[in-house]
Amino acid sequence: MKLVPFILLLIITQLGYAQENQKFITSGPRNGYLIIVGGSLTDTSIYARFMALAGGPDAPIVIIPTAGNDEFLIEQNGIEKTKFRFQQHGFNNITVLHTRNREEANSEEFYAPILQAGGVWFSGGRQWRLADSYLNTKTHEELFKLLDRGGVIGGSSAGASIQASYLVRGDTKTNVIMMGDHEVGLGFITHCAIDQHLLALNRQFDMFEILEAHPELLGIGLDENTAIVVHDEQFEVIGKSFVAVYDGTMCRFIRDKKDWSIERPEIEMLTEGSERFYLLGVGRKYNLRERKVIE
């Protein structure tokens, strides 16, 4: 007599868990691609992947250098330097879009080059400047449309962190504050926080401050000259170094989180609250939705 109510309770509990879990699924663009670089980009293979996904050397691309400060962009001719770097890597059809004016970012005259572009690239600086200029504008909307039609969005350093839903180091005073006065990114990856310059600047433990406050997030840390190529529910590591994955060992919403090591075939269960992460090298792949390494 108690069996049926117990079964119903079990079903309701599992449905509730599934719905709760559904809220925090991490995924990238279904049709398009993201190339997310940890900074100090010189690796030719990363430029080459961006070019291939954008449509080749003659495909129109857009560079957005707005994360840089005015001294670099204007007084030090940073806009032209950034454009020239891409020209050196074989890109022949480049448009630069830059504004600090949200009204301009909402104008079709400004974002029109994105309508024809095969790819868009965000260069480095401070990621909050990108949020101030483009978050929830028509330009932001057109970036999502570019992904929907199969295009690619890339970015390095600040241009990496801005692509996540949660904005790491978004404080206007200093970049050492992990949870600053800007905490919303452009959201090309859902339920995710992305840090950069990971091993080069000894930042590999900084992500835990964010995950303690937001345990539902997937944390990704990228070392310099290293990238992940994101498509739909998975990413691949390319470049020169390592990517750190903080995949829910502190997350109460994701069951059965496990440690992973290339040295061990067995799975080690982690206790809740364990401050653990693992490193993925070049060629490794990861399932964002299931939050596990693809063997």
What value, to the nearest 5°, has the Cα angle with vertex 259 and ends 187 and 254?
50
**How many CA atoms lie within 13 Å of 88's alpha carbon, on the beta-carbon side?**
9
Residue 150 included in any domain: yes
Q: Looking at per-residue confidence, does 126 or 21 come out higher?
A: 126
Residue 136 included in any domain: yes
Residue 16 included in any domain: no
pLDDT at residue 184, as a whole number = 98
> Band of the pLDDT at 256, cuts 50, 70, 90?
very low
Closest CA to 185 of 144, 145, 232: 144
Q: What is the DSSP string of 168-229?
A: TT--SS-TT-SS-S--B---SEEEEEEE-STTTTT-TTTHHHHHHH-TTSEEEEE-TTEEEE
Return left, alpha or beta for 275; rule: phi > 0 is left, psi -120 to 50 is alpha, else beta.
beta
Is residue 263 predicted with pLDDT exceeding 80? no
pLDDT at residue 2, as a whole number = 56
- Distance CA(205)–CA(209), nearest Å, equals 8
Is residue 10 predicted with pLDDT exceeding 50? no
Question: At 130, which amino acid appears?
Answer: L
Number of domains in the chain: 1
Q: Looking at per-residue confidence, does 21 or 118 come out higher?
A: 118
Residue 1 included in any domain: no
> What is the CA 163 to chain-centroid distance, rounded?
4
Residue 80 included in any domain: yes
pLDDT at residue 273, as a whole number = 61
Calculate what percentage of the chain has a pLDDT beyond 90.
81
Pairing between strand 218-222 and 243-246? antiparallel
> Band of the pLDDT at 12, cuts 50, 70, 90?
very low
Residue 213 included in any domain: yes
Question: At 253, which amino acid appears?
Answer: F
**What does the pLDDT look like over 78-110, one tens digit per residue?**
999 999 999 999 999 999 999 999 999 999 999
pLDDT at residue 248, as a whole number = 59
Structural domain including 237 reads 26-294
pLDDT at residue 24, as a whole number = 85
CB 282 within 8 A of CB 237: yes
Residue 5 included in any domain: no
The beta strands (E) that lie in the chain are given as 33-37, 61-64, 94-96, 119-122, 152-156, 164-166, 189-195, 218-222, 226-231, 234-239, 243-246, 258-259, 268-269, 278-280, 285-287, 292-294
Residues 266-294, mean pLDDT to the nearest whole number = 82
Rg over alpha carbons for the chain, rounded to the nearest Å, is: 20
Cβ-count burial of 100 within 10 angstroms (0-12 exposed, 13-18 middle, 19+ buried)?
Answer: exposed
**CATH code for the domain in which residue 113 is found:** 3.40.50.880
Q: Looking at per-residue confidence, does 23 or 57 come out higher?
A: 57
Residue 126 included in any domain: yes
**What does the pLDDT look like over 118-176, one tens digit per residue?**
999 999 999 999 999 999 999 999 999 999 999 999 999 999 999 999 999 999 999 99
pTM above 0.85?
yes
